[in-house]
Structure 1
Amino acid sequence: MENRENKHIIFFDGDCGVCNFWVQWILQRDKKNQFMFASLQSDFGQKFLGERKLDQKQFNTLYLWKVGSYYLIKSKAIIKVLNLLGGVYKAGGFLGQIIPTAISDQLYNVISKNRMKISNQKCFLPTSEERKKFIEV
């Protein structure tokens, strides 16, 4: 496992195909090695949720956390990830910032509510190099 200092940690539903697709997508594009990942179901994920008095049984929200700086949820987290990836993805982040959060979070909620239906439920098996980016896999 990599050192968590100065990393952006993405918390996701480890049982969700859409979430796992998103994790794979970020892994493939994280050329600056700036992200780490933890499932919300893991001890680390549960601790994160508990410390912030967030629901520890619902896993339908993506969180992005920078230790000592911030944590973002839903569409704001996705927009920040796109901006951090940079390049052409930053354009997507810019477009996301134009849309009011209430609207982008509403779209996020629709996808989240139907995520099990739209995912193909294939198991994701990270490579040994990618495993270093996971906290408590």
Structure 2
Amino acid sequence: MALQLPPSLGHFNLSIRARPVVVTRRVNTFNTFATLSQPRSDPINWVEATSSFFDQDKRPIMLFDGVCNLCNGGVKFVRDHDRNKRIRFEALQSEAGKMLLKRSGRAPDDISSVVLVEKDRAYIKSEAVLKIMEYIDLPFPQLAFFLQFVPLFLRDFAYDNVANNRYTIFGRSESCEI
């Protein structure tokens, strides 16, 4: 393909070769719900680095804000309604919590959302809440089934409004109570 320039610019003939552009995208299940806050130059494979969390115990891990009174109340609620002990808990502020946040594609200091980390996947915001509801006793799995039909942007909008005001409404404690 040749590009002809107007005569006022002289007599130039530029050749441009068109090459097909191939775009490949590697999908990582932990980045499915990742945000832009994840550092792209992180040389550590956090899935491998945290795989030991699931070697002996396959149960998912619920990450929560350890100083948030609402979050601590949520953990107590889940514990009370999880008679089979199918969920483990870890504060977002702990070292293990920070590592699991990185595994989930989140920044290690991001305490804006509850996160549920399974062996092969991580969930955040309203997706995490619905997935946690699936693990606890009746009637919560059925309620989660119906709530999944509410569009994600509406669920996350409601989640974000509560999460952004949780300290104002529910207060915070000086240390993790759980």
TM-score by length of 1: 0.80
- CA drift of 1:124 comes to 6.9
1:112 is the counterpart of 2:160 = no
Matches within 5 A, 1:49-68: 49-67=101-119
- Are the structure 2 counterparts of residues 113 and 125 from structure 1 closer, same or farther at C-alpha, using a change threshold of 3 Å? closer
| Alignment match of 1:43 (pick from 90, 95, 114) | 95
List runs of 5+ in structure 2 lacking aligned partners. 1-54
Task: Provide the residue aligned with 2:34 in structure 1.
Answer: none
Deviation per CA, 1:53-107, whole angstroms, max 9, x where unpaired? 412222011100112x211111011111111214211222022101011110111
TM-score by length of 2: 0.63
Deviates more, 1:52-61 or 1:40-49: 52-61
Measured on the aligned residues, the alpha-carbon RMSD in Å equals 1.9
Q: Distance in 2 between matches of 1:125 and 1:98?
A: 34
Give the greater-gyration-radius structure (CA): 2
Task: Provide the residue aligned with 2:77 in structure 1.
Answer: 25
Structure number with higher helix proportion: 1
Q: Do the aligned residues in 2 keep the contact of 1:9 with 1:66 (CA within 8 Å)?
A: yes
Q: Percent identity?
A: 24
Larger RCO of the pair (alpha carbons < 8 Å, separation 6+): 1
